Amino acid sequence: MIFFTIVVFLLVVNMTPALLAMVLGDRGNLPLDLNLALGNGRPLFGHHKTIRGFLGAITAGSFVGFFMGFPFWVGFTASFLSMIGDLLSSMVKRRLNIPPGEPLMVLDQFFEASMPLGFFYKTGYLSFPLTLVALFFFVVIANAGSALSENIQVPGSKNRIRLVRSSKQFKQWRSCHEPLPVVAGYVNFENSVIFRLAFEGFLKVTGLYEKGIMNALNVRLKHVYITDSRLPEAFSPLKILFVSDLHIDAIKGLSNRFVKIIDPLDVDICLLGGDFRFRMFGGFYRTTHKLRQFVKHVHAKEGIFGVLGNHDCLEFAPELEDTGICMLINDAECVERNGARLWIVGVDDPHYYKCHDLEKALEKTGSDDYKILIAHSPEIIRDCKGNEVNLCLCGHTHGGQIRFPGIGAVYTHVRVPRRYTYGLWEYCGIKGYTTSGAGSSGVPVRFNCPPEIVLITVRRFKTV
């Protein structure tokens, strides 16, 4: 029925600018009004009305309309009028002193729909009564869609504010669900099935696969010693159990190996560096079940703290906290001992989602307090301007997972110098350690790069 076809057509035009923003983020988002303002200083349209969205909606409407059976010029004209109506609504809202992006029911959708619907009425596609009905349906559906996009938020505490682009939120939502197109898992490098199957096949043909699996299960306990004059005397020595990249559901028997290592240890703090699961998308029941068993065997006086990695979506956080892990998502927690304070600071994934906000995470901390930063990837150092933190613990690189003697890692999967991708390092007065990780991802094998659980001892020494 032509009535429903036209309503769907208008909804496609309406959604195109938002979809382009989700996919492209900040790329090509030049404001349509070129940041021009009227005499009273108010913007003409607002920064959210972009040339990209305007042209994209007209282009999408022209082609979608053609495939729906309209002549190309009809789809183009209706799309153009819809965008002109949208700009008219923005102009009215700016004159009413309503900020850009602030929703206003009916006005947001009225001109955007009434102008193209008037065109469809004049060209004989709709009768006048059907034009009014189509207008009503469009306003209701488009307003509901706008409200849904504004209000769908992943649960989190009020202290864990995350200001991120919609494209990042879409990536996070997608990673908690099975990918809709089958091809998604084959072309995404972060979780490429093609690469995994090809490399796994090569290892099996050469007889190296089983050896690589055995290496991945041979998790070791590594002792790391750090001295720092800034550590409060009350906390010295500070024993930290640091575990990153567990990928706890990757290989059968891996979680049992973890438990054997951590159960005898008594530490002050346990820090988890993210990437709790093996896959990057789908549910996480299997992962949380194994994590509960893991957490039961952690003996940490001051608690267990964790951050999200590129394999962990935001919806995963409440499940992780239910296991007994205090998740720090651009947030910090204070530990006090004999009047001295120490802060555990955690940021969201700085590698794939790029939702990290170090400035936000440090808001509650004092400038003279000792601060330990947990970040999934050493790429966080690009946000460190100096001595904001004292100790930085990272993972993600797996130390390369496959290393050649005299050469090192084949691939580190981060955009920082290699000296920050494994072991101890210093950067702008910050002491740091990047672990090779406890688990394995991609193809779960390791060669010349053993997995590790790290026991870090930080001692205070007095400067002369």
For the record, the structure tokens of 93 come out as: 């809202």
pLDDT of residue 139 exceeding 50, the answer is: yes
pLDDT at 423: 96
pLDDT of residue 20 exceeding 70, the answer is: yes
pLDDT at 108: 82
Question: Which helix (DSSP H) or strand (DSSP E) does residue 223 occupy?
Answer: strand 220-227
pLDDT at 48: 73
Quickly list H helices, 300-433: 316-322, 358-361
Give the Cα separation of 44 and 86 in Å (integer). 13
Q: Where residue 147 falls among pLDDT bands split at 50, 70, 90?
A: low
Give the Cα separation of 114 and 88 in Å (integer). 12
pLDDT at 219: 97
What number of other Cβ atoms are within 10 A of residue 76's Cβ? 18
Report the share of the chain in percent with pLDDT over 70: 83
Residue with tokens 């688990």, as numbered in its chain: 439
pLDDT at 153: 38
pLDDT tens figures, 233-253: 999 999 999 999 999 999 999
Answer yes or no: are the C-beta atoms of 241 and 268 closer than 8 Å.
no
For 25, list phi and psi in degrees, rounded to 5.
65, -125
Give me the chain's average pLDDT, please: 85
What number of other Cβ atoms are within 10 A of residue 406's Cβ? 5
Question: Which whole number is the average pLDDT over 76-87?
Answer: 92
Query: What pTM was estimated for this model as a whole?
Result: 0.63
State the first-to-last Cα distance of the chain, in angstroms, to the nearest integer.
Answer: 86
CA-closest candidate to residue 237, choices 268, 270, 206, 202: 268
Question: Which whole number is the average pLDDT over 331-339?
Answer: 94
Residue with tokens 């699961």, as numbered in its chain: 277
Every domain of the chain and the residues it spans: 2-152, 189-459
pLDDT of residue 202 exceeding 60, the answer is: yes
Answer yes or no: are the C-beta atoms of 289 and 322 closer than 8 Å.
no
Which SS3 state, helix, strand or coil, does residue 259 take? helix
- Tell me how far the alpha carbon of residue 401 is from its chain's centroid: 23
Which residues have a Cβ under 8 Å from the Cβ of 220 and sit 6 or more positions away? 450, 451, 452, 453
pLDDT tens figures, 343-394: 999 999 999 888 899 999 999 998 889 999 999 999 999 998 776 899 999 9
CATH code, residues 189-459: 3.60.21.10
pLDDT at 157: 38
- State the burial class of residue 69 (Cβ atoms within 10 Å of its Cβ: 0-12, 13-18, 19+): exposed
Q: Where residue 159 falls among pLDDT bands split at 50, 70, 90?
A: very low
